[in-house]
Structure 1
Amino acid sequence: MRRIFVVGPRLASFSIGLIGAILSRGVHGLSNGVAKVPVLGYNTWNFFQCNIDQDLIIDTANLMVSLGLQDAGYNYVNIDDCWAEKNRSSTGELQPDSVRFSRGMKNLTDQVHALGFKAGIYGDSGWFTCAGYPGSFEHEDQDAQTLFADWGFDYLKYDNCAIPFDTIIQQGTMGKYVPMSNALQNLATNGSLSEPVVFSLCQWGWSQVWLWGARLGHSWRTTGDISSQWSSIASIINFNSFITQATGFYGRNDMDMLQLGNGNMTFDEAKTHFTAWALMKSPLLIGTNLSAITNETLSILTNKEILAINQDSVEPDAVSPFRWGINPDWTSNSSFPAQYWSGPSENGTVFMLINTLDTPSDMFFNLTESPWIRAGRQYSVRDLWAHTDNGTAVRNFTATSVPSHGVVALLLNDSGEEPLGIYPQCAVWFSCSSENGTYVDG
């Protein structure tokens, strides 16, 4: 039986009829083991937009194999908007563009599957998609049957353009996604599908989608569209720094597609972009032209030590800030987001240091500022970009000369008790005391 990756049941307090219908059918998420970790793959929109056809999709899949991206774990090839005819068939079905997808979508997904990939498709909850093609409003069951049971797609990016008037839809933001969720669950329960489907909600952060996205889908967009400028990267990191707790095995914040190789991003900015997306457990969907990809960009995308953190099947949490850099009071600053981050992983404690300044900088922190580090212990240090073991850290760590807009990614592991005789007795001296109440003076 095929089961859509829809998480629940955790909607008991809601009175919306459609949501109640989901609960009554026992929607499954974690138990099916599908999409437990973020999706890795490719999406056509950021570079090609509407200039897509069947040959581009197969060429992209072949490039992902030859470039080593498939071996690195990228296993989805996703078509975004503009794939359809502007009108439905006489019986209401979606139709692929008769010229650009002349061989049909079932033929396309068969080819993608034969190359060892899963295939993704784009849809919309409204009257039309964002580019003006048919949306799925009041066609959810029909479209789910067409896209997944008939054509064999494995992933649905579901947008939210051309929303019907309130008097017609009579739903809140979450409710607009429920009919498609129901339709996918219907296919799962009636045995029409043989493989799980990933349901990705393209609902932007202003609706506080991170508060409810896990009730319906595998991932949810948290901000507007990304651009290739550092200001866009920094702004998205900043916004997501305040909602990292929304990510886990039940679903994850989607920070939008990877822009590496597009625009004027420096190599250090590209490394920061990729590292932040990966360690914050965002889906990683490449949005560049693979036929013109540079070796530098490819080396970033295939960093297996960084990808291993993103794909950790034991520890689901994203890295979160433990210090807000130039914003010590945790106030939002889209140009200078949090600089000091940490989180758990299957193989140790992960640290991410981002130099948000416009000049190189040394970056210092006490280890126990991270909640994942124990006092009185020393830690081995692994550099996830240099791929080197860098000795042992005792109480604190300094990364020297971090490039402007650059990143340091570390994996620390407990290496036993710290050496005797270190003074002062506490690395973080505030309110540190001996048994008789004598406070340690830092």
Structure 2
Amino acid sequence: MITSIAIALFASFVVARFNGGVGKLPVMGYDTYNAFGSDYNGSLALEQIAAMKSLGLIDLGYNTFILDDFQYEVNRSATGELLGNKAKFPEGIVEWTKKAKSYGVTISPYSSNGLKTCGGYPGGYGHELQDLETWRSWGWSYMVKYDNCNFPSDNITQQNEYGRYERMEVAIDQLAAKYNEPPFIYSLCQWGWENPQNWAPRIAQAWRIDNDIKPYWNSIATVLKQASESYLATGFYQHGDMDMLEVGNNGQGTPVGDLTYDEQKTHFTAWAFLKSHLLIGTDLRNAANQTIEILTNKEIIAINQDLNEGQAIAPFRTDVYYQADDASYTFQNPPGYWAGNSTQGPIFMIINTADTTQTLGFNLTENWAVRAGRQYKVRDLWLHQNIGTAVRTWNVTLPSHGVAALLLTDDGPEPANETPPYSFLHQCRNLNTSILLKELPTSTSVRV
């Protein structure tokens, strides 16, 4: 009886929270922060949106535009409303929004659960429903990115992080009910504090898993390491947000980055396969061909936006510790071996975390979605071609910090008389006695 009641309560909670049907898949779009920080205005934002259109990014699904921090006036109106920054949007925020939406994007707001945003502009604490009403009146309608800065002291809030974020969740539901409209997607930006994978799915469709990303390999690797510890919470309507993309920010961005081409491919693959938001964060006006090649990889995007498989890939091995030059800081490489499933078939992501070219091998059945005793066609999702047929194992040779994104397709039974008769040696048994091989006398003859 207790079990059935618990299941019913959980089911009713899920239906109530997500009856708007929004946020099933990770969000794709653009965020101003990584490229420009505070140094942007309406004209620059429109240029980015125009580039998104001309480059085909909007048609690929990058269809929301987030004006990150610094877009408001420093003070609210006399009645408490947010005001669009007149210097940044001289035509007015409503007129600017009309121009932006004419390209086919939605506009998504940014705020914080405190009295001020991280940049010192009006925060949402105590104004949650009022701010939602304001954004709606401006024509903003898709996702609320909600930061974690400048919140009141504990004796005022008498809430922990969950409670401070729950205030906006309640307001989002109230707004949707008032106008009989789909609710805003709710994306928390709390930098992985207080293990959000344990509580954020109750109130939001996404939550940040770690600190702000930077356009350096160690930052990418650190986020991946954190993802390896929290990936299990990811699924439909609940996404671990690994932060905005740094693809394209080699030699530019805020701060200026130094990611190699291979590191950027690894970055994009990992974010896509782990079902994170894909939010472009580079200046598209002068984007390199390699940047556009990465951002428009339809086969990688298809994994991220799979309508039938919401689970993130999972690590199946871990790498060794690496001691940085600074003896006070020990950095652990993220796992290099990841696997999962997709509508099209089992997938693998193999990352060379070393500083030199490496050949890395694995057993196919280390992926739970692979059927033992079958052979598989292997497709490279960066080369966009089939590269062979795998029986039992597969090897890849990768440059430093490079990635292999592999899609497997069942190609029938493996060849006859493959040995050993089991995928793993420790699974081999005497076919007559079912005794583990390691338990048999050394004189016993068993085919392995």
Query: 284, 306, 310: which one pairs with 1:316?
Result: 310
Question: Any residues of structure 2 matched to 1:216-295 within 5 Å, and which?
Answer: 216-262=203-249, 263-295=257-289
Query: 189, 199, 210: which one pairs with 1:202?
Result: 189
Which runs of 4 or more aligned residues in structure 1 lie more than 4 Å from their structure 2 counterparts after TM superposition?
9-13
Q: Deviations over 1:103-149 (max 9, x none)?
A: 22222322222211111111011010000001111111211111124
Is the contact made by 1:149 and 1:187 (CA closer than 8 Å) also made in structure 2? no
In structure 1, what is the equivalent of residue 68 of structure 2? 80
Over 3 Å counting, the alpha-carbon distance change for 1:282 and 1:359 in structure 2 is: same
Counterpart of 1:325 in structure 2: which amino acid?
D
Counterpart of 2:425 in structure 1: which amino acid?
W
Query: 395, 398, 405: which one pairs with 1:398?
Result: 395
Question: Cα offset for 1:26?
Answer: 7.0
Over 3 Å counting, the alpha-carbon distance change for 1:272 and 1:10 in structure 2 is: farther
- The answer to whether residue 198 in structure 2 is matched with residue 211 in structure 1 is yes
Q: Deviations over 1:19-42 (max 9, x none)?
A: xxx96x97331x433221111110
TM-score, normalization by structure 2: 0.89
Question: Cα offset for 1:58?
Answer: 1.5
* SS of 2:346 mapped into structure 1: strand
Is the contact made by 1:234 and 1:334 (CA closer than 8 Å) also made in structure 2? no
- The answer to whether residue 176 in structure 2 is matched with residue 179 in structure 1 is no
Question: Any residues of structure 2 matched to 1:296-315 within 5 Å, and which?
Answer: 296-315=290-309
* SS of 1:412 mapped into structure 2: strand
Counterpart of 2:421 in structure 1: which amino acid?
Q
TM-score, normalization by structure 1: 0.90
In structure 2, what is the equivalent of residue 430 of structure 1? 426
Question: Any residues of structure 2 matched to 1:104-115 within 5 Å, and which?
Answer: 104-115=92-103
Which 5+ residue runs of structure 1 have no aligned equivalent?
1-8, 14-21, 328-332
Counterpart of 2:411 in structure 1: which amino acid?
S
Is the contact made by 2:420 and 2:428 (CA closer than 8 Å) also made in structure 1? no
C-alpha distance in 1, partners of 2:219/2:148? 22
In structure 2, what is the equivalent of residue 410 of structure 1? 406
Question: Cα offset for 1:55?
Answer: 1.3
Over 3 Å counting, the alpha-carbon distance change for 1:140 and 1:170 in structure 2 is: same
Q: Deviations over 1:193-224 (max 9, x none)?
A: 64542111101113111111111112100100
In structure 2, what is the equivalent of residue 96 of structure 1? 84
Question: Any residues of structure 2 matched to 1:156-167 within 5 Å, and which?
Answer: 156-167=144-155
C-alpha distance in 1, partners of 2:208/2:353? 23
Is the contact made by 2:22 and 2:237 (CA closer than 8 Å) also made in structure 1? no
Question: Cα offset for 1:102?
Answer: 2.3
Query: 376, 381, 391: which one pairs with 2:378?
Result: 381
Over 3 Å counting, the alpha-carbon distance change for 1:10 and 1:35 in structure 2 is: farther
Question: Cα offset for 1:365?
Answer: 0.5
Is the contact made by 1:157 and 1:202 (CA closer than 8 Å) also made in structure 2? yes
In structure 1, what is the equivalent of residue 352 of structure 2? 355
Question: Cα offset for 1:66?
Answer: 0.8
Question: Cα offset for 1:436?
Answer: 2.1
Is the contact made by 1:123 and 1:135 (CA closer than 8 Å) also made in structure 2? yes
Is the contact made by 2:116 and 2:123 (CA closer than 8 Å) also made in structure 1? yes
Is the contact made by 1:109 and 1:153 (CA closer than 8 Å) also made in structure 2? no
C-alpha distance in 2, partners of 1:51/1:414? 51
C-alpha distance in 2, partners of 1:229/1:335? 15
Is the contact made by 2:212 and 2:243 (CA closer than 8 Å) also made in structure 1? yes
Question: Cα offset for 1:250?
Answer: 2.3
In structure 1, what is the equivalent of residue 3 of structure 2? none
C-alpha distance in 1, partners of 2:226/2:213? 12
* SS of 2:410 mapped into structure 1: strand
C-alpha distance in 2, partners of 1:26/1:68? 35
C-alpha distance in 1, partners of 2:420/2:143? 55
In structure 1, what is the equivalent of residue 17 of structure 2? 28
Is the contact made by 2:175 and 2:183 (CA closer than 8 Å) also made in structure 1? no
Question: Cα offset for 1:427?
Answer: 2.9
C-alpha distance in 1, partners of 2:283/2:300? 22
Counterpart of 2:269 in structure 1: which amino acid?
T
In structure 2, what is the equivalent of residue 5 of structure 1? none
Counterpart of 1:81 in structure 2: which amino acid?
D
Counterpart of 1:69 in structure 2: which amino acid?
L
Q: Deviations over 1:70-114 (max 9, x none)?
A: 122211111000011111111111111122112222223222222
Counterpart of 2:299 in structure 1: which amino acid?
E
Is the contact made by 1:40 and 1:285 (CA closer than 8 Å) also made in structure 2? yes
Over 3 Å counting, the alpha-carbon distance change for 1:12 and 1:174 in structure 2 is: farther
C-alpha distance in 2, partners of 1:337/1:130? 29
In structure 2, what is the equivalent of residue 155 of structure 1? 143
Query: 111, 116, 129: which one pairs with 1:128?
Result: 116
Aligned length: 417
Query: 44, 47, 69: which one pairs with 2:35?
Result: 47
- The answer to whether residue 156 in structure 2 is matched with residue 168 in structure 1 is yes
Bigger relative contact order, structure 1 or 2 (CA pairs below 8 A, ≥6 apart): 1
Counterpart of 2:38 in structure 1: which amino acid?
C
Counterpart of 1:215 in structure 2: which amino acid?
R
Q: Deviations over 1:331-361 (max 9, x none)?
A: xx84411011110101100100000001000
Counterpart of 1:115 in structure 2: which amino acid?
Y
